[in-house]
Amino acid sequence: MTQQRKILVTAALPYANGSIHLGHMLEYVQTDIWTRFQRAMGHEVWFAWADDAHGTPIMLHAKKRGIAPEQLIEEMSAEHQKDFQDFNISYDEFSSTHTQTNQALVELIWARLQEKGAVDNRTISQYFDPEASIFLPDRFIRGTCPRCQATDQAGDSCDACGASYDPTDLIDPHSAISGATPVLKDTEHFFVTLEQFREGLSAWIDSGAVQPEVANKLKEWFGEALRDWDVTRDAPYFGFPIPGQTDKYFYVWLDAPVGYLASFKNICQREGLDFDAWLSPETDTEMHHFIGKDIIYFHCLFWPAMLEGAGFRQPTQVHAHGFLTVNGAKMSKSRGTFIKARTWLDHINADALRYYFAAKLTPSLGDIDLSLEDFKARVNSDLVGKLVNIASRCSGFIHKLGDGQLSSALPDPDLYAHFIEQQRAIETDYDQLNFAGAIRQIMALADEANQYIDQHKPWQMAKEDNREDEVVAICTQGLNLFRVLITWLQPVIPATAHEASQFLNTSIEHFDAVSEPLLNHSIEKFKPLMQRIEQTQLDQVIDESRESLT
């Protein structure tokens, strides 16, 4: 038994301004598979996250609906958590960044940054909407790209050519709120000075905390002085007020990652854990963040600098992943491939998509494509045709000829031992986020299990006299191989695995449990564990996505 690890896991916070879609779910499934695997290895794991509940978009959305921002984020939290639960995401705490616990931690970190001399304030010029009387965040300024002249581009970057620029570089800028031409207006803002954390950040990046391609990207920014980080937003704004200020608020990206810690603090208070010990730089605990590659800058520069400045431990690892495409292209509302999690759940098994994502996920930042045709073929072939087929072929004979009781010995213990010998490699793949590698190995073994059954043909044996014990023994072997495979797949397809555990009448929560086979053991009647995916189901998902999101 390996030494028990103590692990805090987080996923990127969904924004409390809209529904969860499959692009979000890719990350949450990845996080959950890794979390479930670590639990299956006997480690102490806590999965803590929250809704990202602050910012101008939420303030404006609530205003448009005629409700308070607090009501909006409460409604979105309920919707989000229903989606997560139905996708079998096994989090321990899902909070909100708009809580007193988070505010207290934000103010503590802010005070410590000030004590370290890491906060500067200065006057800047920023675009202001004279009609809406609001300073405009970059995304609420639209105009023509100064590089490629593409129209209707955001205030900080161009979707057409990928250029980054300052809002003042936009040609013919206008407010996305009122349509008015913005004017430049002076305002006083606070900045976190990142340059003083250069040495600590460099050491953290070199520690293996990020993937090699992420480290290379981060080091590009170290070629010059690290840019100071503007952490102020002017009223009106929905967020936490900056202590000692009357009309200044913390930028949402300052309080959002602190939400990880606030959510975990709720767990600590509930479970009697020592929050300060878990977050100490000298601790032997681990902290793992799962994020999309688009928010690396915040999580791999700003966040570890904030933690260092506040005297907290830095992340053990930040695991970044690529984007989700559908049928080889960016998710599209017009094509019906911008799919909400709930639309998917209304028609298709959650475990089927979890399995498909796992079969594609590696530790790299490459994008993941959900090819719906390939999804149908792979789920039907792997889960239905290979995995579940083992149990369905063997279970009936155990009840018909063995009174529901497995035999007292395996006819081929060497085959069982061969399966168990593969466990260490599968564990390594899971731990290193090479889920695709783990799935390949498991499905190759599923092929071997089916070949064993095909070779011995228990359905033919059952027709011959005095071979009942042989049939039961062959099917006992098959069901034990199935038990090993479904145990290893439990992190990926937890709902299916739970139903399988009820059928097998045994727990499959821990990988070590399969070191010995199930013998002289009663099983329940078999019920179908996974239905084939039909084209009509996929067609319904596409049709509803097109109707509801155009």
**452, 444, 443, 457: which is closest to 480 by C-alpha?**
452
Confidence of residue 550 (pLDDT cuts 50, 70, 90): very low
State the pLDDT at residue 162: 79
Question: Average model confidence (pLDDT) for the chain?
Answer: 96
Contact 485, 504 (CB under 8 A): no
Q: Tell me the torsion sign for CA atoms 263, 339, 163, 53.
A: negative
Q: Write the pLDDT tens digit of every residue in 360-391.
A: 999 999 999 999 999 999 999 999 999 999 99
Q: What is the pLDDT of residue 528?
A: 93
Stretch 74-92: mean pLDDT: 98
Residue 547 scores a pLDDT above 90 = no
Does 549 have pLDDT greater than 80?
no
Integer Cα distance of 247 and 236 in angstroms: 8
User: Pairing mode, if any, of strands 44-51 and 6-11?
Assistant: parallel
pLDDT number for residue 475: 98
Residue 207: band (very low, low, confident or very high) from pLDDT cuts 50, 70, 90: very high
3-state secondary structure at position 287: strand
DSSP per-residue codes, 156-167: SB-TTT--B--G
- Judge whether residue 165 has pLDDT over 90: no
Convert the pLDDT of each residue in 480-532 to its tens digit.
999 999 999 999 999 999 999 999 999 999 999 999 999 999 999 999 999 99
Tell me which residue of 449, 493, 446, 193 sits closest to 350, measured CA to CA.
493
Q: Kindly tell me if the per-residue pLDDT of 77 is higher than 60.
A: yes
DSSP string of 437-487, one letter each residue:
HHHHHHHHHHHHHHHHHHHH-HHHHTTSTT-HHHHHHHHHHHHHHHHHHHH
Task: Give the residue-averaged pLDDT of 229-250.
Answer: 96
Specify the length of the chain in residues: 550
Confidence of residue 125 (pLDDT cuts 50, 70, 90): very high
As a whole number of angstroms, the distance between CA 433 and CA 81 comes to 25
User: To 10 degrees, what angle do helices 252-271 and 303-310 make?
Assistant: 60
Domains of the chain (ranges, CATH numbers): 6-116+194-321 (3.40.50.620), 122-191 (2.170.220.10), 377-515 (1.10.730.10)
Rg (CA), the chain: 27
> In 424-460, which positions are buried (b, 16+ CB within 10 angstroms) versus exposed (e)?
eebbebbeebbbbbbbeebbebbeebbebbeebebee
Query: Which pLDDT score is estimated for 166?
Result: 86
The predicted model gives 419-442 an average pLDDT of 98
pLDDT band per the 50, 70, 90 thresholds, residue 299: very high
Closest to 184 in 3D by CA, of 199, 173, 196? 173
Average pLDDT over residues 43-57: 97
Can you give the pLDDT at residue 337? 92
The pTM (predicted TM-score) of the whole model is 0.95
Q: What is the pLDDT of residue 2?
A: 66
Query: Once rounded to an integer, what is the mean pLDDT over residues 142-159?
Result: 92
Amino acid at 177: I
The string of DSSP codes covering 311-378 is TPPPPSEEEEE--EEETTEE--TTTT-S-BHHHHHTTS-HHHHHHHHHHH--SS---EEE-HHHHHHH
